Amino acid sequence: MPEHVILFAGPMGAGKSTAIRALSDIEVISTEATNTDRAGADKDTTTVGLDYGEIDLGPDEKVRLYGVPGQSRFDFMWSILQERAMGLVVLVSATMPEPERLVHEHLSAFAPVARRGGVVIGVTHVEPGMTDLGDRIVQAAHAVIPERPTPVFALDARDPQQMRTLLLSLVADIETRIAMAVPS
Ligand SMILES: Nc1nc2c(ncn2[C@@H]2O[C@H](COP(=O)(O)OP(=O)(O)OP(=O)(O)O)[C@@H](O)[C@H]2O)c(=O)[nH]1
Ligand SMILES: [Mg+2]
């Protein structure tokens, strides 16, 4: 059965664990601990290990969803998982200072996955009137991946329907790339 490995990256509080919970068909495996960094994100818990969920997109298409803890993106276990991953979701919250800088940082950390497979960016906590934020994020993504456009979605990580739209567009992008790849 064909399967995809998708990584969810982004800073603390962006909504990675929430997004995986919204998408997963199975009970999510999550290693949450008490958040001692209230300045980083004002919430009760933070992910210290990984999040893991699964979703079936069709009778024989399984997607494995892995959340990368915001602070440990350079750990060796993520280098290993990065080799298997074909897709990357970078999440960032619009309420964070300089979301475009955070996108640059987290996309750079997983650029090999984005280049080999596909990537989408999800911006959470978007309020009306944040007029040029989308453009700034598009530019930040272009600086890391200049060879093709990176889609940017405004979404609520708690909303399964919106998360599904993002995931389906990522998987479609990956499959197009595979279908059109030059045989080696
Ligand atoms: N109002 C609002 N809340 C959101 C939105 N997206 C996510 N959230 C909330 O924002 C918080 C995000 O927290 P997590 O999902 O724990 O974030 P995380 O990226 O896993 O963070 P770490 O594990 O600490 O790196 C949760 O309380 C969500 O319910 C959104 O678009 N609007
Ligand atoms: Mg988390």
pLDDT digit string (tens) for 65-108? 999 987 665 566 677 788 899 999 999 999 999 999 999 999 99
Question: 51 has which bridge partners?
Answer: 30, 67
* CB of 102 closer than 8 Å to CB of 140: no
Q: Is 43's C-beta closer than 6 angstroms to any atom of ligand 1?
A: yes
Which ligand has an atom closest to residue 158 CA?
A: 1
Q: Which candidate, 128, 152, 127, places its Cα nearest to that of 139? A: 152
Confidence at residue 28, expressed as pLDDT on a 0 to 100 scale: 95
List Cβ neighbours of 95 (8 Å cut-off, separation of 6 or more): 125
The CATH superfamily label for domain 3-180 reads P-loop containing nucleotide triphosphate hydrolases (3.40.50.300)
pTM: 0.94
Q: Is 158's C-beta closer than 6 angstroms to any atom of ligand 1?
A: yes
Reply yes or no on whether the pLDDT at 161 is more than 80. Answer: yes
- Distances, alpha carbon 34 to alpha carbons 37, 44, 96, 141, 168, in Å: 9, 6, 21, 32, 33
Average pLDDT for the chain: 91
Q: Is 93's C-beta closer than 6 angstroms to any atom of ligand 1?
A: no
Confidence at residue 126, expressed as pLDDT on a 0 to 100 scale: 94
